[in-house]
Chain A
Amino acid sequence: MITIKNYVSVDTVEEAYDLNKKRNNQVLGGMCWLKMMNKDVNTAIDLSKLNVKSIDEDETCFRIGAYVTLRELEMSTSFNEYTNGGMKKAVEHIVGVQFRNCATIGGSIWGRFGFSDLLTFFLSLDAKVELYPTGIVSLKEFRDMKVNNDILLSVIVDKKPLKVAYQTIRNQSTDFPVLACACSNVDGKYNTAIGARPGKAMLVEDDNNILAEVNEETIKAYSEYVMNRVDTISDSRASGEYRKRMVKVLVSRCMKEMEGI
């Protein structure tokens, strides 16, 4: 059970950072995961006043504030147009509408949870995160960073020519995924993110240029290449061997969906 002594809705990011330096203080996300932790929080830090609740778009990028909810991402017309409906597909199986109205992109990405559909999807989009005071870093780099006192302000997706497809396997429709797969082509470069291995999502790029020409044969070869690059282990939801085999299946399905084959 979580207990909270004080609650501060900060006016500046500097104030949030200063408060977050103390070990017993905690930045709030959507509270869906946090509330299940056993933790005595001295000061809960609410970022609501820091321009983190909207999806802003200009000619070059989307800036998604840390407090944007999963439901807002699901319903965002412009971001779903950009991702060809992939964003909706990546979140629509997460519990229910009410949960998605609470859970935030910041909470999900900051946690770098293995089960995170969002981490998997945004890794494949070559997204970046805006941290204070560190600055803007790639999500790929952030994935491996140690948890520190930074404040995650937004997730940034540069507008580049994009094709993306997202598929998961779940034991039950609203459960955590047994395996998640996002294939994309960002500005001509293919990559695949595999999540729920059950470790945190990892990115596999087409370094050997297997997909120089896209057809059934090269998709099969690429699916096997990804499968061999991804580590999977067993947990209560599925065995590591099953997951590994399913990597090949999901990559193949995503690639065919993305390329219309």
Chain B
Amino acid sequence: MEIKIKLNGKLIKEDVDAGTLLIDWLRAHKCFSVKRGCETSNCGLCTVFVNDKPVLSCSVLVARANGCSVTTLEGLQKEAEEFGAYIANEGAEQCGFCNPGFMMNAIAMFRENPDPTDDEIRAYLAGNLCRCSGYEGQLRGIKKYLQYKKGE
């Protein structure tokens, strides 16, 4: 079947197999920030935006994203670099495997709620699992980034 998807601002038209998952299609288009993790829709590693909403690309058929705008971390370089520095400075990035999915969801949260409380941050990011950091560094990084954005 033929699909049309705007991937990171660039329109792509192509034939795909009906059962192709969005994660596989994105990785075939060199969006290697999109990681395969749990395969049970739990870990958040594969988070991307479909029409600006964060979704699990392992659970979305690419056919379902037909006609939509899809954004991966590759398409958010400026925001990612700025925010990523705060995460790195707090030592929140250890193996780094969860980081792209975590950053995508954190950026979605900043857009939806620019002034979240600690509990709101924890609740929004509950679907992003990290086996290294214990989440505290990530929370510190987010809070410092938000403080910086307020003072900008």
Give me the interface of A with B, judged by CB distance under 8 Å.
2-7, 9, 28, 30-32, 35-36, 41, 44, 46, 48, 71, 92, 95-99, 101-102, 173-174
7 CB < 8 A contacts A-B: A31-B59, A35-B58, A97-B108, A97-B124, A97-B126, A102-B59, A174-B42
A98-B60 contact in complex given A2-B19, A3-B19, C-beta closer than 8 Å: no
Complex contacts, A101 vs chain B, CB 8 Å: 53-55
A95-B124 contact in complex given A7-B1, A46-B64, C-beta closer than 8 Å: no
Which chain B residue shows the least CB distance to A173?
B126
Give CA–CA (A7, B65) in the complex, Å: 12
A96-B125 contact in complex given A2-B19, A32-B41, A46-B64, C-beta closer than 8 Å: yes
Q: Which size class do B's interface residues fall under? A: 20 to 34
A99-B127 contact in complex given A5-B19, A7-B1, A44-B18, C-beta closer than 8 Å: yes
Complex contacts, B44 vs chain A, CB 8 Å: 96, 98
Give CA–CA (A9, B61) in the complex, Å: 12
A203 to chain B, nearest CB (A): 29
**B138 interface residue (CB < 8 Å to A):** no
Once the chains bind, are A31 and B54 in contact (CB under 8 Å)? no
Once the chains bind, are A102 and B42 in contact (CB under 8 Å)? no
Once the chains bind, are B18 and A102 in contact (CB under 8 Å)? no
Complex contacts, B127 vs chain A, CB 8 Å: 95-99, 174
**B63 interface residue (CB < 8 Å to A):** yes
CB contact between B18 and one of A4, A48, A96, A173 (< 8 Å): that residue: A4
State the 5 A-B residue pairs at the shortest beta-carbon distance, nearest first. A96-B127, A4-B19, A7-B18, A7-B63, A98-B54
Complex contacts, A4 vs chain B, CB 8 Å: 17-19, 61
Complex contacts, B105 vs chain A, CB 8 Å: 96-98
Which chain B residue shows the least CB distance to A42?
B18
Complex contacts, A6 vs chain B, CB 8 Å: 1, 18
CB contact between A98 and one of B40, B55, B61, B63 (< 8 Å): that residue: B55
